[in-house]
Amino acid sequence: AQLALTLLQTDATAEPLRSAVLSGLYPTDINPLETAIHLQERLEAVFAACMAETGCNAAYPDLRMKFYDLLAALDRTPVPVTVKATDREITAYADDATLLHYVLNQLSLGNLAIETLPQNLTAFHNGDSNIVARDVSFLYGNQYVAATAAAQCQDTFAAVTSRLLVQTESAIDPGFIDFAMRYLPASLRFPTFCTKVGLDIATPPMAESTVSDHNVPILAFHGAFDPLTSTDGVKRALVDWEQPKIYTLIKGGHELLLDFCAQQMAAQFFATPDQPLDDRCLAKNKLVFNLPITDATFAPLVRTTAANVGISTLVPQSWAEDFAKTGLHPLGKIGAGIEVITLEAITQEDILPALEKQKWLLIWQSNGEMDLGDHHWQLYEDNIGILHMDIAVTQAENGTFYALRTIVSTDSVDADLIYETVFIPALENFHVE
């Protein structure tokens, strides 16, 4: 977004722009060392939102106190976590900075990642340290140091004075200092490092704006939980433009254009940038924290997935309620849901290539076979990053193959629990009419 805004202001050779959609903006006068401060502010907003929600407050009592207790405990004694390397698993250690890096990532992603944050922080407090395993290698890795130094020393850090450095460090909560020192894009150590290695020479001043007028329609999004920018910062970044359309996503983070509502609004804006936007989807974008899944929360749901295919199964109560209201199976609720595709005029040997073509299977492994309900199933599973997929294929009496899949974000929910309580019952109750 920052590069796009710079090009809007300075690139005289560019073709005239009709409109632009931006997110994650910050003004040029931002203090790059304040990330730890903004992070704590947004984290406190999560605690406040959880306390204000009856279900979240009941499920995760004393969440704020438990978090700060955990932060202090990790500072004193880092805990072991299992990190997956290319060909093996290794044991590393997570400390207070690791935990805060994890929180920063979750807040940046927004939506589901924020809704699962109280659940995951509670799990970490109760001993599940592997929740932050992916953040260990990132925080301690050196692959980003050179690139960050080359860019940041002559850009954002060039304007940081010794006085500003001292002022910023004194304003950071002591529990966040380790993170502020080690988080590369905004490390308190960088200004001194830049001077030491001779990279503190600022780049030439940016050319004056060559945009003849600032009437280019701009749509900008800001996330209410964005740990890197603020609504005020977005407004200051767009101060030269006449009447930019700025919207805040109430459960958004920094990665906003992945949000379905933002995508809808962006598509409408690109088509007719001068017309009023239909922003009704924003009202539906409510923050609802994930609650622990127990047997008591399950309810029956019947979903018709095609003209002649149906699934009867048990799903979390909130899914059934959402389905009753909207008629949609909430795939994004906790990163799990049931999908069905039909494969006609195909042989058994062509099933896996067909699924690969549909992007349903990439690095798959067989889970064997099983007779469930009226059908014989071939079972597979696939893992891509934090996503875990279970796939089942069956052939109906009419010769047509049907493939069912559930996708689970392992950051958000127990994959084994969803497999046993949602996926297997779906196979048992699958029917072709």
pLDDT tens per residue across span 217-244 = 889 999 999 998 877 888 888 888 888 8
Please tell me what DSSP assigns to residue 242: S
Is the pLDDT at 310 greater than 80? The verdict is no
Residue 165 tokens read as 């450095």
Give CA–CA dist 180/162, Å, rounded.
16
Judging by beta carbons within 10 Å of its beta carbon (0-12, 13-18, 19+), is residue 99 exposed, middle or buried? buried
Give CA–CA dist 338/391, Å, rounded.
10
pLDDT tens track for 362-410: 667 888 899 988 889 999 988 776 678 888 888 888 788 888 887 776 6
Give CA–CA dist 215/3, Å, rounded.
19
Instruction: Check residues 42 and 422 and name the one with the higher pLDDT.
Output: 42
Specify the pairing of strand 89-94 against strand 79-84: antiparallel
pLDDT tens track for 71-129: 999 999 999 888 776 677 788 888 999 999 999 999 998 887 898 899 889 989 998 88
Give the residue among 278, 258, 301, 253 at the shortest CA–CA distance from 115.
Answer: 253
> Range(s) for CATH 3.40.1000 in the chain?
295-432
Q: How far is CA 175 from CA 94, 358, 390, in A?
A: 15, 47, 41
User: Rounded to a whole number, what is the largest CA-CA distance in the chain?
Assistant: 77
C-beta atoms surrounding 184 within 10 Å: 17
Q: How many residues does the chain have?
A: 433
Given a contact cutoff of 8 angstroms between Cβ atoms, the answer to whether 97 and 71 are in contact is no
Strands across the sheet containing 298-306: 298-306, 309-316, 431-432
- The percent of the chain in helix, strand and coil, each rounded to the nearest 5, is 45, 20, 35
Please tell me what DSSP assigns to residue 346: -
What separation, in Å, do the N-terminal and C-terminal C-alpha atoms of the chain show?
50
DSSP bridge pairs for 366:
380
- pLDDT at residue 210, as a whole number: 47
Exposure b/e, 298-322, CB count within 10 A at least 16 = b: beebebebeeebebebbbbbbbbeb
In the chain, pLDDT over 90 holds for what percent of residues?
Answer: 24
Q: Cite the beta strand spans of 269-324 per DSSP E.
A: 298-306, 309-316
| 248 backbone dihedrals φ, ψ, rounded to 5° | -105, 125
- pLDDT at residue 113, as a whole number: 84
- pLDDT at residue 296, as a whole number: 44
Three-state secondary structure readout of 129-193: HHHHHHHHHHHHCCCCHHHHHHHHCCCHHHHCCHHHHHHHHHHCCHHHHHHHHHCHHHCCCHHHH
The mean pLDDT value for 351-357 works out to 74
Give CA–CA dist 129/94, Å, rounded.
8
- pLDDT at residue 247, as a whole number: 92
Give CA–CA dist 302/304, Å, rounded.
7
What's the alpha-carbon Rg for the chain, to the nearest Å? 25
| 59 backbone dihedrals φ, ψ, rounded to 5° | -75, -30
What is the CATH topology of the domain spanning 295-432? Protein Transport Mog1p; Chain A (3.40.1000)
pTM assigned to the model: 0.69
Given a contact cutoff of 8 angstroms between Cβ atoms, the answer to whether 71 and 121 are in contact is no
Is the pLDDT at 331 greater than 60? The verdict is no
Give the residue among 179, 50, 24, 71 at the shortest CA–CA distance from 114.
Answer: 50
Q: How far is CA 367 from CA 37, 148, 225, 390, in A?
A: 47, 43, 40, 9
Name the band, by pLDDT with cuts 50, 70 and 90, for residue 321: low
- pLDDT at residue 138, as a whole number: 56
Exposure b/e, 47-64, CB count within 10 A at least 16 = b: bebbbebeebbebbeebb
C-beta atoms surrounding 176 within 10 Å: 20
| 221 backbone dihedrals φ, ψ, rounded to 5° | -115, 145
